Amino acid sequence: MGKRGRAAVVVLGDIGRSPRMQYHALSLATQASLKVDIVAYGGSDPHAAILKHPSICIYKMAQWPRLMQKLPWLLRYIVLLLKPLFQFLVLLWHLCVKIPAPDVFLVQNPPSVPTLVAVKWASWIRHSAFIVDWHNFGYTLLGLSLGRGSRFVAVYRWFEKHYGQLADGSLCVTKAMQHELAQNWGTRATVLYDQPPEFFHPASMEEKHRLFLKLNKELRHSEGIGDCISHGSKHMRTDDPNDSLITTISEDGVIAKSIRPALVVSSTSWTPDEDFGILLEAAVMYDRRVAAILNEDDSVKEEVLWDEMNNGKQNIYPRLLFVITGKGPEKEKYEQKIKNLHLKRVAFRTMWLSAEDYPSLLGSADLGVCLHTSSSGLDLPMKVVDMFGCGLPVCAASYSCIEELVKVERNGLLFSSSSELADQLLMLFKGFPNACNVLASLRNGTLEERSSAAWATEWEEHAKPLVLEVISRNSS
């Protein structure tokens, strides 16, 4: 079988919410000079670089009917059997019929069932190589909802391990996962650390201003909540259409306002492996502790504090504006909790941003917060990688291998409780915006590390040799 010059990237999920697989597709097309077919679900648009690339084609699969997700709980286990069968047939049809035969299938794991089974079958039928990119373990994610002792979880783990071992090659995201695969799964994997592509970078003042003007209405006004941003100090309110919440235009061009809230960004999938309640509790603690420190008694006092900050008294703690991006099953539950908080110095906004606006938001923020703790304890949060690519320091939830990514007191801090996160917010933002020495130091460390790594470099060194090797071996 000769080489075909094609690769297929397989994601049993929304391709717009699968950044690593998007980057794989771009690298396969640009660095390995292959034509790339992406087989995935629709929902969110991928980055424009994917949509515009002449060598990349996207095939969107039909999804499990939403009506089936609203069945009574007694039918839950029947659905657990029927849904993978439906997905298997749809996936196999696309891999074996809809797309041209590739030299190699590159598949994201998890989900493992039925993805690994379908891709392996397709690789047999089409005489193609088969590479698994291990982002996490699917059985540990299933265990979050069914319990680790469930028979379904045991069966799922068997399929994941068996078909993972049948792959012609494997990539993984951490050294800890590489060790686990080698010792307990009999699978040899190459570590490919996540790195952001070039379009994740610190935003210029002009880019910040354009973004904040675009999001002005969403940032200034909350749905059903009168908070410290939408109904706050007179410094927050303006009728100037060229004036945003964070930036303004002066004689010298676009500048950041001296009196502004600190912008904190967190991206979440609103799932059980990210306890968003920790962030809400930390916000409440920050609000109460600042109130106690400043002895706020009324709104008049609040105006005085803003005026003091404007006059250079840098012992003032700013208002915090948390922008939470993402989609997921627990979003509505937490949005209702946010409405019931009634905080004086903290506000929340939840939104979904385009693939172009999301990097701009990260590059414009003051701090990132990551709540990801990993169902297996062996993967790393891509959202932190993206934040670092934009020069954004991070406070991240601590777990077993997170220090492979977050270097404490260099590019971020780790927390294990809501109280610890609240302490970090107080420490980092004291004296905002001009006298936050620790925050400035973390940002400098993030920028220094950003300059030393790039996705294209990592992919060229670690992934490309594996891809070319399995293609060559399979075609000979």
- Under CATH, domain 6-195+454-475 is a member of which superfamily? Glycogen Phosphorylase B; (3.40.50.2000)
292-325 tens-digit pLDDT? 887 754 443 444 444 444 444 445 789 999 999 9
In the prediction, which pLDDT does 80 show? 65
Distance CA 94, CA 192 (A): 27
Positive/negative CA dihedral, 30, 36, 41, 43: positive
Domain ranges of the chain: 6-195+454-475, 205-450
Distance CA 469, CA 321 (A): 49
372-405 tens-digit pLDDT? 888 888 999 989 999 999 999 999 999 989 999 9
Whether 205-450 and 6-195+454-475 are alike in CATH topology: the answer is: yes
Q: Which residue ranges of the chain lie beneath pLDDT 50?
A: 297-314
As to burial, measured by CB atoms within 10 angstroms (0-12 exposed, 13-18 middle, 19+ buried), residue 83 is: middle
Distance CA 209, CA 300 (A): 30
Conformation bin of residue 224: beta by default, left when phi > 0, alpha when psi is -120 to 50: left
In terms of pTM, does the model score above 0.75?
yes
Distance CA 462, CA 465 (A): 6
In the prediction, which pLDDT does 307 show? 43
What are the distances in angstroms from CA 42 to CA 12, 65, 151, 170, 206? 10, 14, 31, 26, 32
Q: What is the DSSP letter of 202?
A: P
CATH topology of domain 205-450: Rossmann fold (3.40.50)
> What's the half-sphere exposure (Cβ side, CA atoms, 13 Å) at 286?
32
